[in-house]
Amino acid sequence: MNQPASAYFLEERHDPTESHTLSVLVQNEPGVLARVIGLFSGRGYNIESLTVSETESQKHLSRITIVTTGTPMVIEQIKHQLDRMVPVYRVVDMTLTGRSIERELAMVKVRGGGDNRVEALRLADAFRARVIDATTESFVFEITGNSAKVSQFIDLMRPIGLVEVSRTGVAAIGRGPEGM
């Protein structure tokens, strides 16, 4: 019960956290991304991954995919806070609907020679990664998949001679015939 002298209730609750993927349909207008990101930083929410692009240029619509973590109560808050923003059309919790596909693309640069080169190509083949650039001492692989698969591929490349990685972040879409 004891807490330091303060006019605020300081004890934090440590409920278990969950990871959720949110799809947010927004009006593509100046500052809209800053609004969304500002909400997360201002209210202390986490962003694990963020992907944004215009998806319907005629209607000036953009789709933001956010992977976030928090307690169930915080995740609910995040959705409501996003939903009440003026330029936000819809917020869908892809994790909650349970019927979504998530994909991420990464470009992975690997440097090395001899056996390492052969090993890199063999692993790439197993992961269905494509070679999109090659020199006598390096490759750039393009790999697509869910985040875990992409991470696993990167981890395997590390001892072989991983130079750098560029990841797009997660994009998600619901299964079946309906749109969000």
The number of residues in the chain equals: 180
40 binds other proteins (CB under 8 A): no
* C-beta of residue 147 within 8 angstroms of C-beta of residue 166: no
Of 54, 56, 76, 137, the one binding other proteins (CB under 8 A) is 76
Nearer to other proteins, 177 or 179 (CB): 179
Give the nearest distance from C-beta 77 to other proteins in angstroms.
Answer: 6
Burial 115-125 (b: 16+ CB within 10 A, else e): eebebbbebbe
Of 14, 16, 30, 177, the one binding other proteins (CB under 8 A) is 30
H-run or E-run covering 98: none
What is the binding site for other proteins (CB under 8 A)? Answer: 1-11, 13, 26-27, 30-31, 34-35, 38, 42, 73, 76-77, 80-81, 83-89
